Amino acid sequence: MRPLKTLQKLYDEESQVVITEKGSPPRALFYGENFLLEDLPVGTRVIFPRPPLAGVPNVKAAIRWAINHPEGMEPLHALLRPGMKLTCVIDDISVPLPPMATPDVRQTILEVVLELCADSGVDDVHLIIANALHRRMTEGEMRRMVGQKIYDAFYPDRYYNHDAEDPDGIVELERTPCGSHVVAVNRRVAESDLIVYVNVNFVPMNGGHKSMGTGVANYASLRAHHNPKTIRESKSYMEPGHSELYRRNERIGRAIDKHLKVFHIETALNNRMFGPGVDFLHKREEDYTEGDRLKFQAMRYALSKLPRAAARTVLNSIPAPYDVTGVFAGATEPTHAKTLEKSWQQYVVPVQGQSDIVIFPIPFISPYSVNSILNPLLVQVMGLGYFFNLNRGVPLVKKGGVIILTHPAFDEFDPVQHPSYIEFFNRVLPETRDAVQIEQKYEREFAENPSYVHLYRKGNAYHGVHPLYMWYWGENGRQHAGKVIVAGGENNHVPELLGWDRTDTLTEAIEEARGFMGRSASISLLRIAPTVMVDVK
């Protein structure tokens, strides 16, 4: 007989993959600010996320243990000395999604670190948000992230957003002779005796060398890896061994580690995105109780009666009750290796073989639309960028296959957060969708536009070049798929500009995909969210 542990492992893996049969329940799929309830064709493979891992019993104790038993470095207390200059660099609001229930784990880490600094006589401490070319966080968002006590003690002089366009605030550490690789970081960071990086590892792409190599860099540094060539050469953003994006970040990160002393504190979260009231969204539909079905129908009805902006506000206001599953600290690479193990343990589901047609339900939120709008470019980056790359090197969809996205694909933009997106969508895409041409012709113009630079520095706008990066981000999905269909698109011109087909319903989208791939085409649905990754054999 097989050992009990082996049987349990097989059960856990197989229970996440369900083959649709006659009588299978309809599937609840994200559709922007609402949900679809869809019957899928018999034989459709439905891939569900793993159940949330158990969290550590005491988060503060786990943090203290990690900083006292770090990977490849001395304990944090041994690195502190009176009079030193210390900077805590903190992951921004783009992770996790949705934002976690308070207290945010970043607050908990900072409480431990700042208490240790005070006991060690370290009082020259700054807290910098690693927002790179993302928008500046608002005061309210900054307060929520670290708690009232830390906010009152440090904001605004010693707790602030990184400014990648501050002419006096960037220090160049290295540059290749041809200028293709520039390593430049925030001046306060560069001049610190010690940097403590506070990380939230939401997906395997987060953390490691990407933290410093991207978070506190400038446009000149980011160009080395945020470009079409790098994206095309990345088989998966989530698997370091198959990611040119990771390798280029690694080169920059190692250069930073050569010049600066960085102590990383990385945290792994489980995928408990939905709290009481909506926790049925974690379940397979086969496991819904009658109460779950009633709650789903009530939620769907209520969202359908709200204006889209109001529905968005409601959904953004529901925090996620994530649990911390691991805390690791120390040098960049050995620390991140531990985090990756925990991350894969939570997210990876083994599946057998690729599919001709893959369905990705698109939710209301992305890393770049927190408290904002999932505009057409962000729908594109979620489907062809992130969801397509939720694998360990082999995509779920076959080369030349069909990707179906469920989203209204509305033509709506946030002029405060995404001003340069509006120009890119309406001016650049009508001319060309070729990422290399866009890079060569438009990137410098958008990156150096003085109006966009001002809105990035003084407002809460994403950097002028950011929409181009979002277009690049979908490049490997765009090159891989033979066709993209948006099911339920409410207009024709958005899908047309993006180079997609549209249908009124998911059923029609599947029929069109079968017409393209053949009547016997295999179909998979990746049930996101919660977060799930596939390991395709």
Each residue's pLDDT tens digit, 254-278: 999 999 999 999 999 999 999 989 9
Rounded-to-integer distance, Cα 168 and Cα 186, Å: 9
Question: What pLDDT was estimated at residue 11?
Answer: 42
- pLDDT at position 57 over 60: yes
Written as six digits, the tokens of 257 are 């580690």
pLDDT at position 3, please?
Answer: 56
% helix, strand, coil for the chain, step of 5: 40, 20, 40
Two structure tokens written together for 398: 């076959």
The C-alpha atoms of residue 417 and residue 133 are separated, in whole angstroms, by 12
Q: How many Å separate Cα 232 from the centre of its chain? A: 19
Residues 176-182 have a mean pLDDT of 76
> Region 278-302: what's the mean pLDDT?
96
Residue 14 has pLDDT above 70, yes or no: no
Q: What is the pLDDT of residue 85?
A: 98
* Cis, bond preceding 51 (omega within 30 deg of 0): no
E strands, 33-135, where?
A: 34-38, 45-47, 85-91, 124-130
pLDDT number for residue 13:
52
- Give me the percent of the chain exceeding a pLDDT of 70: 97
Query: Which pLDDT does position 5 carry in this prediction?
Result: 52
Q: Compute the distance between CA of residue 352 and CA of residue 217 in angstroms, rounded to an integer.
A: 40
Instruction: Assess whether pLDDT exceeds 70 at residue 86.
Output: yes
Confidence of residue 7 (pLDDT cuts 50, 70, 90): very low
8 Å CB contact between 244 and 230:
yes
159 CB neighbour count, 10 Å cutoff:
23
The position carrying tokens 């054999």 is 537
Distance, CA of 359 to CA of 289 (rounded, Å): 25
Across 37-41, 178-182, 262-266, 530-534, least confident range: 178-182
Mean pLDDT in the chain?
A: 96
Return the pLDDT at 179: 66
Burial 331-344 (b: 16+ CB within 10 A, else e): bbbebbebbbebbb
Closest by CA to 153, choosing from 99, 102, 115, 194, is 115
Q: Pick from 267, 255, 510, 279: which is nearest to 403 by CA?
A: 510
pLDDT in tens, 22-35: 999 999 999 999 99
Would you say residue 241 has pLDDT above 50? yes
Q: Can you give the length of the chain in residues?
A: 537
pLDDT of residue 2: 53
Nearest to 526 by CA among 360, 285, 404: 360
Distance CA 358, CA 522 (A): 9
**Res 176: pLDDT:** 75
450's tokens:
């003085």
- The secondary structure element, H or E, covering residue 329 is strand 324-330
Query: Which pLDDT tens digit goes with each residue over 180-211?
Result: 789 999 999 999 999 999 999 999 999 999 99
Grouping H, G, I as helix, E, B as strand and the rest as coil, residue 199 is strand
Residue 121 in this model has a pLDDT that exceeds 70: yes
